[in-house]
Structures are given as structure tokens and as C-alpha cells.
């Protein structure tokens, strides 16, 4: 693995090249352990938080659709509310597993959450908003009010 940045250690500059003929000291071995993928790979197992999920917004003449990518969830994990023209979508999920093997016990737990909010335009009929979850995509249907729907062009005759 190549070191991209030289970081000072104990007041000295770190060399990216090491004399391969000599055996590493204990401290350099520990440093190498965490500079290689093992250190970051080990620590990344504990990062089970969720970033903000990606959202697609589609509109046609009658409605809006929000598509939110949230794989690995259940329908019951979502909390969707509309209050004062603000649509809030949130989820909170925690998991805990215990594995016992001989003299070693490993206990892992994870917690993830997110919250997305959207200010709804006046054209949305908020009483008829509905949602469905399928194949990791949460789809929220936002119908437009009748007066906001696009009307076909009307020909006006001149008299």
C-alpha cells in the first residue's frame, strides 16, 4: 500500500520506504497494521450508520412521485408524516447479535437512522398522499389538486 501523505510521528517525518532487509520493530509492526487495510477494515465493521438516502423526484401532469433508495428495510421501519406543508420521512433501526464460539464471545450491535424533509408545493393534495415499499425503493405518491393539474389546450374562437 502506498502512503499518500507523510505524517509526522514523534517529531520526525515518516519515510514511505522501509529497509526490507531488517526485521520491523514492534512499534513499526503495529503502525503498519493500522496503515494497511486491516486497521480501516476492522474499524469500518463498526460503522453501521446510514447516510441520507438518494431521492428521485418525478412529476407528470397529475402527480409527483418521490423514490427513495433504502434497501434492507421493512415497511414498519418508516415513519412518514405531513405537517404544515412539510413531508417528513424518517427511519430508525437497531440490531443486536451475539455469537459465542469456545472461549470467545462477540457481541455486535448497529444503529442506523435518517430523516428527509420536503416542503410541499400548494399544488399537492396532502390528504391523499400514499406510500409503498418494494425492492428497496420507498415510493411516495403525491397527487396534485384538481385545479393544479394541467388542462389540455383549449381553442378559443374569435367572434
Cell numbers for 107: 457481541
* Domains in the chain: boundaries: 55-148
pLDDT greater at residue 100 or residue 79? 79
Architecture of the domain made up of 55-148: Sandwich (2.60)
Q: Calculate what percentage of the chain has a pLDDT beyond 90.
A: 38
pLDDT greater at residue 129 or residue 25? 129
pLDDT of 131-148, one tens digit each?
999 999 999 999 999 887
Return the H-helix or E-strand segment holding 26.
helix 26-35
Based on DSSP, count helices (H) and strands (E) in the chain, helices before strands.
Answer: 2, 7
pLDDT of 41-74, one tens digit each?
444 344 445 578 999 999 998 999 999 999 988 8
Whether residue 32 has pLDDT greater than 60 = no
Cα angle 94, 98, 104; round to 5: 145
Q: What is the pLDDT of residue 27?
A: 56
> Using CB atoms within 10 A of its CB, is residue 76 exposed (0-12), middle (13-18) or buried (19+)?
exposed
Q: What is the pLDDT of residue 26?
A: 58
Q: Strand 55-59 relative to strand 63-69: parallel, antiparallel, unpaired? A: antiparallel
Q: What is the pLDDT of residue 37?
A: 45
Q: What is the pLDDT of residue 146?
A: 86
pLDDT of 110-132, one tens digit each?
777 889 999 999 999 999 999 99
Confidence tier at 93 by pLDDT (50, 70, 90):
confident
Whether residue 21 has pLDDT greater than 90 = no
Amino acid at each position: 500500500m502506498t502512503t499518500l501523505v507523510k505524517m509526522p510521528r514523534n517529531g520526525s517525518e515518516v519515510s514511505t520506504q522501509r529497509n526490507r532487509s531488517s526485521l520491523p520493530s514492534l512499534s513499526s509492526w503495529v503502525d503498519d497494521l493500522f496503515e494497511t487495510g486491516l486497521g480501516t477494515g476492522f474499524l469500518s465493521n463498526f460503522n453501521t450508520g446510514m447516510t441520507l438516502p438518494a431521492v428521485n423526484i418525478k412529476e407528470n401532469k397529475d402527480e409527483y412521485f418521490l423514490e427513495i433508495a433504502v434497501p434492507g428495510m421493512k415497511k414498519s421501519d418508516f415513519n412518514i408524516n405531513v405537517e404544515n406543508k412539510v413531508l417528513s420521512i424518517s427511519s430508525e433501526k437497531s440490531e443486536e447479535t451475539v455469537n459465542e464460539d469456545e472461549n470467545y464471545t462477540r457481541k455486535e450491535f448497529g444503529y442506523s437512522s435518517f430523516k428527509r424533509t420536503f416542503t410541499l408545493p400548494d399544488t399537492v393534495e396532502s390528504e391523499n398522499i400514499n406510500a409503498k415499499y418494494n425492492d428497496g425503493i420507498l415510493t411516495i405518491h403525491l397527487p396534485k389538486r384538481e385545479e393544479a393539474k394541467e388542462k389540455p389546450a383549449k381553442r378559443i374562437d374569435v367572434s
